[in-house]
Structure 1
């Protein structure tokens, strides 16, 4: 007979509280739990493995998606379970592509290639839009979102974009292609400007790459624990 486990038995393994275990049960992280004749919860090694799987997946998939994956796994909804997992991998792949494109764009900017068409050091909204193959309305939308900060020509009041604005626009275009939201891009550009010198910028990109690597490792660890849970559940 399988030995019944108490909430504290599951909690102690991960340094959690018994209340946290009950909360996870309520969210659907754990499969259905039976109760004793006196009303106490009776967990099993299967519940313990479900908790291991959830906690291992959370750094890679995030809390809400990890919950959804476990709920799908408990319900034998493998199509939804794998779709959720694939979504995270697709997002990670897109972000890797964005990092590569941003790194390439910055290298081009450092070499002067991306700004070579500029002759006066400033571009109008139409000229920048043409250079980036975007619609001028897109650049105005980015400005409203805090991504771009063009100055105004004192005489004409037209927008003028400096070399640093062009750099921001190039990076924004790459990140938008990678699926980033405008507020995320604006935040990234703030960090980029704060980095300042080349060494700081290199550190910023290295930190980004390291975060992606750690998330990838977390996905592997989570997949291993989920696989153990599914095999244990099938017995």
Structure 2
């Protein structure tokens, strides 16, 4: 049995955070003593540790999706959702590599879908070229990241090849969770034909993705142990404390 303060101290969080996790339904309900104080079991400890480890690599949004599934013994549904997020990370890595190739070598034809040779492209053509939705391009325009020309006759957007180049960089930096101001700064440097800063930040995004995939692996080790405990109906967390889930940095 554990007191809330014992769990909180080990995880480096507040006891109120533990209560939030319980209220969100991502850990089993805790029993209470006669005085109303919560008492956590080995199973709760496994959930809490898994939540913290998974949050670091996958984010709380995913954690809140999969933890109720695990409690319901829908283990495979939870694992497939995690696999989907990992696949998205791999796609982000490929996009970042594509953007870097464009910035360093200006080889846009090699990293986007085939584009006909012409002076300008519609929003549909530009979106298809970078693998984004039309609404995404409109959102970036609203945020002041890109400003395509407009056809004076019908008001339709007209994207140049340089605009498509910018769109690829925007997509990469957005996926690497850079702030809007950072993205604007990089685009401003591109407009000045100073690509050094844009290249530096894009390379940093790849370094960050390499770091993130390792953090995800650590979270998965906790997830594996939690799922094994749930599936086997065990309530012994001692093996986890001495397992591969130790807080060993990569």
- Do the two structures share a fold, i.e. TM-score over 0.5? yes
Match of 1:172 in 2: 167
CA RMSD, Structure 1 to Structure 2 (Å): 4.1
Task: Sort the Cα spacing of 1:109 and 1:80 in 2 relative to 1 into closer, same or farther, 3 A.
Answer: same
Report the Cα distance in structure 2 between the residues aligned to 1:226 and 1:133, rounded to whole angstroms.
36
Match of 1:60 among 53, 57, 61: 57
Deviates more, 1:187-196 or 1:88-97: 187-196
Q: Unaligned stretches of 5+ in structure 2?
A: 235-250
Residues 211-222 of structure 1 mapped to structure 2, 5 A cutoff: 211-222=208-219
Residue 27 (structure 1) shift? 1.1
Report the Cα distance in structure 2 between the residues aligned to 1:229 and 1:132, rounded to whole angstroms.
41
Residue 187 (structure 1) shift? 7.5
Match of 1:149 in 2: 147
Task: Sort the Cα spacing of 1:70 and 1:129 in 2 relative to 1 into closer, same or farther, 3 A.
Answer: closer
Report the Cα distance in structure 1 between the residues aligned to 2:135 and 2:226, rounded to whole angstroms.
50
Q: Unaligned stretches of 5+ in structure 1?
A: none
* Residue 84, structure 1, aligned to residue 78, structure 2: no
Secondary structure of the corresponding residue to residue 9 of structure 1: helix
* Residue 94, structure 1, aligned to residue 88, structure 2: no
Report the Cα distance in structure 2 between the residues aligned to 1:44 and 1:144, rounded to whole angstroms.
47
Q: Deviations over 1:120-171 (max 9, x none)?
A: xxx3457x9889987xxx98994685154245799x9999979xx5223135
Q: State the number of aligned residues.
A: 214
Report the Cα distance in structure 1 between the residues aligned to 2:135 and 2:229, rounded to whole angstroms.
55
Match of 1:12 among 9, 13, 17: 9
Report the Cα distance in structure 2 between the residues aligned to 1:231 and 1:133, rounded to whole angstroms.
42
Larger Rg: 1
Report the Cα distance in structure 2 between the residues aligned to 1:98 and 1:205, rounded to whole angstroms.
10
Report the Cα distance in structure 2 between the residues aligned to 1:34 and 1:92, rounded to whole angstroms.
38
Question: Is residue 102–residue 171 contact of structure 1 (8 Å, CA) maintained in 2?
Answer: no
Secondary structure of the corresponding residue to residue 60 of structure 1: helix
Report the Cα distance in structure 1 between the residues aligned to 2:40 and 2:79, rounded to whole angstroms.
26
Report the Cα distance in structure 2 between the residues aligned to 1:18 and 1:78, rounded to whole angstroms.
28
Q: Deviations over 1:152-200 (max 9, x none)?
A: 799x9999979xx522313526877x9x89xx9x878524314442321
Question: Is residue 4–residue 18 contact of structure 2 (8 Å, CA) maintained in 1?
Answer: yes
Deviates more, 1:54-63 or 1:29-38: 29-38
* Residue 74, structure 1, aligned to residue 48, structure 2: no
Question: Is residue 22–residue 28 contact of structure 2 (8 Å, CA) maintained in 1?
Answer: yes
TM-score by length of 1: 0.71
Report the Cα distance in structure 2 between the residues aligned to 1:46 and 1:61, rounded to whole angstroms.
22
